Chains A and B, each alone.
Chain A
Amino acid sequence: MRIVSVWLPRWPILRFLTAQMREPSDAPVDPARPFVLSAEASGGPRIAALNIPAEKYGLAKGDPLADARAKAEGLQVAVHDPVADDAALRHLTLWATRYTPSVSPWSDDNGADGFFLDITGAAHLFGGEEKLLADLSHRLDGFGLRARLAIADTPGAAWALSRYHPLHAVIMPSGQMTDALASLPIEALRLSPDTRTTLRRLGFKRIGALIDKPRAPFAARFETELLTRLDQALGRAAEPLPFIVSPPVYHSTRYLLEPIWTQDAVLAVATRLMKDLVHPLVRDGVGARALRLSLYRVDGDVSVVDIGLTLPTRDPSHVARLLNLKLEQHTHNIDAGFGFESLGLAVTAAESMHEQQSEFASVINGSYEAERRAQLIDHLQQRLGPDSVQQIMPLESHCPERAELAYPATPLTETWPTPDEGRQRPLLLLPNAEPALVTAAVPDGPPQRFRWRGILRDVLYSQGPERIAGEWWHSSDFQPTRDYYVVEDKVGHRFWLYREGLYERETTDARWFVHGLFA
């Protein structure tokens, strides 16, 4: 057996930085300065991972964040996301299936920061182990991942060498494990902390000190773990690896005779690929909720386009339309180079999809309306662009013009807001409050008559005031308080007026505005 061990030191940091490269933020982390990822723990956040500049400040994993900040001024901190780390590691491991189908990301026991490749009988495809290792190392470098690599006869030995050998890439010739491991520290055996410290206390600091010793005394003193790990590393006991395989449940690929590079050509191939998938989707009674188009370039590079759908679909032309939109947005990101030699389309998320016989039930339960709304939004968005369709959401603000928010519509909104009964608000809120000339008693009497848009109106009834003070946190300028009145004139028109500025406290000369109209 020949196993490649790939260790990605400071994986959470690397993962964070690569993610940042893909989605630049306003305040990007500077990798040249101390940077840590923090995780919540009892007694406050602690360091979960850190970069080299942070290590130079004497920080270490597990340190309380508050202490770390005190030690390293200007420490950059982000929140550790182990789930994303795991997902990314799995993703990277899958990528490595280009070398061998047998790949296995490290579990927590192994540090969750690397993976194994079983290249038994596969190395010759790449021109031998050296070449394979060089290629792997080179490509990982290209991703911005400085890995440490080792090839050995067992996962244990490969793990140990990748972690503890001074060289970046090591190949241990077959059958030489004992010598290679003897000089490594016992930590290289992947032992539990208790076993590790006990061994150190007893003076066993190198693996060599354990090899060839009588086994019984050790068996009597340590859980089976020690001898098992030793045997696994030395190849005396098997260590089955939990290989993962990619789960392309629905997947189709086209290898092209001639490379293609135009968007039309890509779309045409993609449509054919989707047609290939219709049958299996129908068979299983499902539709695609998410799709991934992989574009393999002649020079070995891969581009990926992901699309998501509001409702499950099997319609090739619908998919093609969405792909078209996506490709248009991405053209500057996707470099066709010398063209794509093959394309793959995979359904990455599927959902059950039933043929609709009757819409009756859905009308009753309201889902009909939601569905129609979703379709409308889908269509409008396809035509006008996703940001052109907006919907309005009520916001909790006393200030009338801030009490709602328009935001890009998503077809999935199930509930629509109902008006707030507690507050009397006009049907039409003027986009900008308009000045009016008002006669009213000081300090806070209601309007008796007012002139607005050139027309003088006598107030018959009025209610108020509703007093709304400015939202001081939006501006450091003074924002006068408003006294709102609902008034009805002689003809029965109703208006929403406000006086700006409180007498005495804020102003001596209050101004009046019309802010809205009732029916």
Chain B
Amino acid sequence: MVAYAELAVTTNFSFLRGASHPQEMVIVADALGLAAIGIADRNSFAGVVRAYDQWKKIRNEKQGPLQPGQELKTVKLLVGTRLVTIDGFEVLTYPKDRTAYGELCKLITKGNHLLDGKKAECLLTFEDILSVSDGQIFIVLPPDDLSSLFEQRLEALADAARGRAYLAGSHLYRGDDVRRLGLLNELGQRTGAPLVAINDVHYHGPERRALADVVTCIREKCTIHEAGFHLDANAERHLKSPRDMARLFRLHPEAIARTIDIANACQFTLDDLKNEYPDEPVPPGKTPQQHLEDLTWAGAQRRYPKDYYPEGVPAKVQKIIREELALIQKMDYARYFITVHDVVAFARSKKILCQGRGSAANSAVCYCLEITEINPETSDLLFARFISENRGEPPDIDVDFEHDRREEVMQYVYGRYGRERAAICATVIHYRSRRAIREVGKALGLTPDITAALSKTVWGSHADGLPDKHIRQAGLDPSNRALMQAVFLARELIGFPRHLSQHVGGFILTRGRLDETVPIGNGAMKDRTFIEWDKDDIDVLGLMKVDVLALGMLSCLRRGLDLMKDHYGTDYTLATLPKDDHPSSKPVYDMLSKADSVGVFQVESRAQMSMLPRLKPQRFYDLVIEVAIVRPGPIQGDMVHPYLRRRDGIEPEYYPSPSPKYGPANELEEVLKRTKGVPLFQEQAMQIAITAAEFTPDEADGLRRAMATFRHNGNVHLFRDKFIKRMTERGYDPTFVESCFGQIEGFGEYGFPESHAASFALLVYASAWIKCHHPEVFCAAILNSQPMGFYQPAQLVRDAREHGVEVKEVDVNYSQWDCTLEPASGGGDRLAVRLGFRQIQGLNKEELEKLIDARGNGFASVERLAAVAGVSRFTIERLAAADAFRSLDLDRRAALWAARRLDTIGIRKPMERKAHKKDTTSPLPLLAPHMSEELFPEPQISLPLMQLSEHVAEDYVATGLSLKAHPISFFRERLHRIGTITTAEHRRESLPQNKRITVAGLVLIRQMPGTAKGVVFLTIEDETGIANIIVWRKVFEKHRHVVMNSKFLAVTGRLQRAGLVIHVVAEDFRDLSKHLGELKDAETSLVATPSASPPSPDLSLLKSRDFH
């Protein structure tokens, strides 16, 4: 049989050009018996790793059943690219070896670097291509009209790459193919670039033509009816069998034969890229392993100082370290640990708080290297499995850094390794259901209304498509042809890559030049460069990735520790905060057990808060469980209640076991002991798969991957069947088996391994400790770290005040930019929080710094402040709006009245737009210090007196909170009349269970957790506290509009109490939002008619946070 290699394959990583996944191409090419397939996307290598991964799978599958002596026959995979110059010269380029590949990567990188941060195509010229001709095989794609310029270039390229240049011919079915191929053959002979057969494949099979047409329309921004000759006339751009190709090129059999020559000449494969870890931080003369061992043991000495450990490093720890080091040596991962250590050491030297997590992070080595703070001596974590020996996958350590200082770390990494060797990995943005249906609908010429209606029905249903019922519900006709086509095509489009974006912080580091490994592009953000491959690709190739992530809580903790040091003289770090063995830990656990956790890391959410009183954490490991248990995995697997019952001793600990003939009864005890027989962590689920369902580590890994992407592909059920079948066969209780798998599914997207939970638990403990012992410090620190977490400043301040902290308002004479601590009004040990200028929206930090510098002993008047501090009138008006002139005895109106005059009396230049940005010079600097308001007398105007309610409303607008009163208190009288009780009253124990009550308040939070199907959780707040509302699906559907849009809401429902947890199960609602406007207009009730638009009250003054 004739042999043929398809060398022109465009995948869907040539965005909106190819209509098949690289994997599909490889599978079909192999099935057709092609000798080789060359993946060549447009100026890119973005899709080759996926093809490579698929190719490896096929090879492994075939290798299994292979008889000895039998030859392994798979399609060969060639890695190439289709270079397209700015003036339209197109050439398929295949590097023969690693060096040539590197040159190509550099070329594309260079083209990308011309982009200047803008999203455009890679800019290359013909000369660029000539410059990298060494070691490449070129297959030039002829244009429709063969010009003399083209011929010249073809000749030039054939000269430069003698014997390695070819001219591509494809059978186009345009009627004149015989003549055209003849001409090309002749041209090839004349120029020394002989004809080679290709089929210019854009999709794997002819059935993809419709989708190919649609992506063309999306690319050309037109509808299918307008697309005209942008579309191909036929469906011939698919992979064809060698027989078909030979028939089409029967007049040019040598063009078919050359494809094989080319395939044989290309020796480069992606295997050549592996394991190029940098060894920068290793001092000369040492091996990385030696260096790591030295660092580890030195770190161990610091971690276990002689003062506390006269015996030296505890024997248990020493043993673990030795085991881990041996494993690291075996796997040759020393460079990885050293590199992470290097980054973390930099952060520590800059006093940037950080903490590692990830599969390898909770090792004793990482503790000694100060990457993590989980002490192996006191923690029960099992470390040996932190690296899967079998998988040969690189270790994974994610490091969280303080949110606002992460950029410094990133720039350090760039600086240390250079732009050529460090870059962020990509995130492939895929078409999701909504976007797919919208763009397909547009391409098919459906009206936006119809596509909007369709995309709405898609919402929530993922790969399972669109049942007719849903379409009918959207008011559309499911028998409509265009509609059906749209739905069908959209389903095909889902999962297609759309564009590359940059990953949040995954750095790829290499020993050699990174731009010789993969093309690098510029990110939308300045100073960011990223590569074309995403983290799955990186995993496949085994490149080294270090995740540099940002975490707001770390910023908050650093600020808290600093404040404690400054004001109370304690010098703690995350590692040295008093732990379980210290008496100060007890009140911390007591506090958490009462669900008193507003602002505390991870456990401040509604779900966590209702779990805390049930779990009653008493020690650190309880926090690890607390963090892990309120997650989709355990909830979906129905693991929560069994765990709680066993913990409370209601139910005995019990370990499911197989029937005795298959294995020891306690095979799962080892896995599940720490969690009382209930799997709560991701690795436990995997361990069950391996131990109880006898998955090979490879299968378990496949399962994990299938889970992580189960929305994209549907092969989960294969694992499911296998998992359930094997475990039931081995005699496990089917209910247990089912719930185990349910949990694995839940882990899929929100996986929470024990090591992550442990790292997070430490932050839970640290934040809770500060909040418990120094609520004022915690309040200031968390306000200074906003935005973060679950709650608004208003709730954080309220919580602090309820814990006896005095909070003082922002004042021009006392505040700093950040919130600060100062002596309380009534004296006493506990300091008060002074709100900082940062609470006022729209202020410029530098300008306020100037004001603070110029303040001296304080300002006596608005005029003096303006003259001396040189701040803009905009800023002064903002300060007045926030009521920050009280120390001058001016309320916001008086201050604003004074501020408005500043321009006229020459202290400030007339306000221009954005003047606050640059205009900070006073026009009369010499006169300024002597100037005073007395110089400019004017008639007294008595300003209308301001109601308290109005002050409160204005406080909310300017700063998001008010210390004067709660907005709802002004409605109490009226609320009382409609039978509403306060939230404080609704917590009274005398109220009977199930009583029908009405509470009202501002809507703080709306939540629609994915695990609670269709149920909405509301949190409302009045002047006495908060109430938690549950809205069941049916009620929600009836009141959707009110529930989703109200800012001020009265809820009538049944009281439900379980221990400390109180809910109101809603039955009816009353939207009171419009009354909020009355706060600002308390003294006037407008006579304006409904149709005249009255001055719209600023309802945005109260924002809720919505979580979906």
**Cβ contact within 8 Å between A476 and B173:** no
Does B581 make an interface contact (CB < 8 A)? no
Does A261 make an interface contact (CB < 8 A)? no
**Cβ contact within 8 Å between A468 and B233:** yes
A204 to B893, CA, bound (A): 10
Does A368 make an interface contact (CB < 8 A)? no
What is the 8 Å Cβ interface bit string for chain B, positions 860-881, against chain A (1 contact, 0 not)?
0000000000000000010001
- Shortest CB distance A125–B (Å): 30
- Cβ 8 A contact of A476, one of B175, B484, B1089: B484
Across the two chains, which residue of chain A brings its CB closest to B1084? A205
Does B526 make an interface contact (CB < 8 A)? no
**Cβ contact within 8 Å between B228 and A166:** no
A contact residues around B943 at 8 Å (CB): 202-203
What is the 8 Å Cβ interface bit string for chain B, positions 147-167, against chain A (1 contact, 0 not)?
000000000000000000000
B contact residues around A221 at 8 Å (CB): 897, 900-901, 904
**Cβ contact within 8 Å between B945 and A396:** no
A166 to B1087, CA, bound (A): 7
A164 to B225, CA, bound (A): 51
A contact residues around B954 at 8 Å (CB): 201
Do A396 and B228 form a contact, CB below 8 Å, given A71-B1045, A201-B893?
A: yes
Do A484 and B175 form a contact, CB below 8 Å, given A185-B1088, A201-B893, A473-B225?
A: yes
A166 to B1085, CA, bound (A): 13
**Cβ contact within 8 Å between A398 and B231:** yes
- Shortest CB distance B573–A (Å): 44
**Cβ contact within 8 Å between A486 and B897:** no
A219 to B1045, CA, bound (A): 42
- CB under 8 Å from chain B, chain A span 72-120: 74, 77
**Interface footprint category on A:** 35 or more
A203 to B945, CA, bound (A): 7
**Cβ contact within 8 Å between B235 and A222:** no
**Cβ contact within 8 Å between A473 and B173:** no
**Cβ contact within 8 Å between B893 and A203:** yes
B contact residues around A481 at 8 Å (CB): 234-235
**Cβ contact within 8 Å between A166 and B206:** no
B contact residues around A205 at 8 Å (CB): 944, 1081, 1083-1084
Does B452 make an interface contact (CB < 8 A)? yes
Binding-face segment, B732-740, B1018-1026, B1092-1100? B1092-1100
A contact residues around B946 at 8 Å (CB): 203
Binding-face segment, A128-136, A208-216, A511-519? A208-216
Does A60 make an interface contact (CB < 8 A)? yes
- Shortest CB distance A372–B (Å): 32
A201 to B945, CA, bound (A): 11
User: For chains A and B in complex, what number of residue pairs have CB atoms within 8 angstroms?
Assistant: 129
B contact residues around A164 at 8 Å (CB): 1088, 1092
**Cβ contact within 8 Å between B209 and A469:** yes
- Cβ 8 A contact of B175, one of A183, A196, A198, A466: A466
What is the 8 Å Cβ interface bit string for chain B, positions 456-495, against chain A (1 contact, 0 not)?
0000000000000000000100000110110000000000
**Cβ contact within 8 Å between B235 and A198:** no
- Shortest CB distance B472–A (Å): 15
Does A464 make an interface contact (CB < 8 A)? yes
A219 to B210, CA, bound (A): 70
A33 to B342, CA, bound (A): 64
Does A257 make an interface contact (CB < 8 A)? no
**Cβ contact within 8 Å between B904 and A220:** yes
B213, B877, B1088: most-surrounded residue (chain A CB, <10 A): B1088
- Shortest CB distance B170–A (Å): 13
**Cβ contact within 8 Å between B175 and A424:** yes
* Dominant SS among interface residues on chain A: mixed
Do A200 and B1095 form a contact, CB below 8 Å, given A58-B1045, A214-B939?
A: yes
Across the two chains, which residue of chain A brings its CB closest to B898? A221
A contact residues around B225 at 8 Å (CB): 473
Does B224 make an interface contact (CB < 8 A)? yes
Does B1091 make an interface contact (CB < 8 A)? yes
B contact residues around A143 at 8 Å (CB): none
Does B689 make an interface contact (CB < 8 A)? no
Does A187 make an interface contact (CB < 8 A)? yes
Does B892 make an interface contact (CB < 8 A)? yes
**Cβ contact within 8 Å between B175 and A214:** no
Does B24 make an interface contact (CB < 8 A)? no
A217 to B901, CA, bound (A): 8
Do A473 and B485 form a contact, CB below 8 Å, given A220-B938, A398-B229?
A: yes
**Cβ contact within 8 Å between B900 and A222:** yes
Does B952 make an interface contact (CB < 8 A)? no
Does B721 make an interface contact (CB < 8 A)? no
Across the two chains, which residue of chain A brings its CB closest to B175? A466
Does A392 make an interface contact (CB < 8 A)? no
- Shortest CB distance B581–A (Å): 53
**Cβ contact within 8 Å between B1091 and A9:** yes
- Shortest CB distance B238–A (Å): 10
B contact residues around A198 at 8 Å (CB): 877, 896, 900
Across the two chains, which residue of chain B brings its CB closest to A477? B481
**Cβ contact within 8 Å between A466 and B939:** no
- Shortest CB distance B861–A (Å): 16
A contact residues around B1084 at 8 Å (CB): 205-206
- CB under 8 Å from chain B, chain A span 218-271: 219-222
Does A69 make an interface contact (CB < 8 A)? yes
- Cβ 8 A contact of A183, one of B229, B881, B945, B1087: B1087
Do A166 and B174 form a contact, CB below 8 Å, given A202-B896, A221-B901, A222-B900?
A: no
What is the 8 Å Cβ interface bit string for chain B, positions 19-54, against chain A (1 contact, 0 not)?
000000000000000000000000000000000000
- Shortest CB distance A401–B (Å): 14
A contact residues around B224 at 8 Å (CB): 473
**Cβ contact within 8 Å between B175 and A469:** no
Does B176 make an interface contact (CB < 8 A)? yes
A60 to B1077, CA, bound (A): 15
- Cβ 8 A contact of A467, one of B234, B944, B1045, B1096: B234
B contact residues around A485 at 8 Å (CB): 175
Do A201 and B228 form a contact, CB below 8 Å, given A185-B1095, A476-B481, A476-B485?
A: no
- CB under 8 Å from chain B, chain A span 472-512: 472-473, 475-476, 481, 483-486, 505
B954, B1083, B1092: most-surrounded residue (chain A CB, <10 A): B1092
B contact residues around A483 at 8 Å (CB): 173
- Cβ 8 A contact of A216, one of B228, B893, B939: B939
- Shortest CB distance B1036–A (Å): 14
B173, B452, B482, B943: most-surrounded residue (chain A CB, <10 A): B173
**Cβ contact within 8 Å between B228 and A395:** yes
A contact residues around B227 at 8 Å (CB): 396
B contact residues around A473 at 8 Å (CB): 210, 213, 224-225, 444, 482, 485
B contact residues around A200 at 8 Å (CB): 1080, 1095
Across the two chains, which residue of chain A brings its CB closest to B230? A396
A196 to B946, CA, bound (A): 17
**Cβ contact within 8 Å between B482 and A396:** no
Across the two chains, which residue of chain A brings its CB closest to B176? A463
Does B276 make an interface contact (CB < 8 A)? no
Does A338 make an interface contact (CB < 8 A)? no
A contact residues around B1080 at 8 Å (CB): 200
A148, A202, A465, A483: most-surrounded residue (chain B CB, <10 A): A202
A217-B901, A222-B900 given. 9 additional CB < 8 A pairs? A187-B1095, A201-B881, A201-B892, A203-B893, A203-B945, A465-B173, A468-B234, A473-B224, A486-B175
Can you list 27 residue pairs at the A/B interface with Cβ under 8 Å? A9-B1091, A9-B1092, A58-B1045, A60-B1096, A69-B452, A148-B1091, A166-B1092, A185-B1086, A185-B1088, A196-B1095, A198-B900, A200-B1080, A201-B892, A202-B944, A203-B944, A203-B945, A205-B1081, A214-B938, A219-B904, A395-B228, A398-B231, A398-B234, A463-B176, A467-B173, A475-B481, A476-B485, A484-B175
Point out residues on A near B: beta carbons under 8 Å: 9, 52, 57-58, 60, 69, 71, 74, 77, 148, 163-164, 166, 183, 185, 187, 196, 198, 200-206, 209, 213-214, 216-217, 219-222, 395-398, 424, 463-469, 472-473, 475-476, 481, 483-486, 505
Question: What are the 3 closest A-B residue pairs judged by CB atoms, nearest first?
Answer: A396-B228, A466-B175, A203-B944
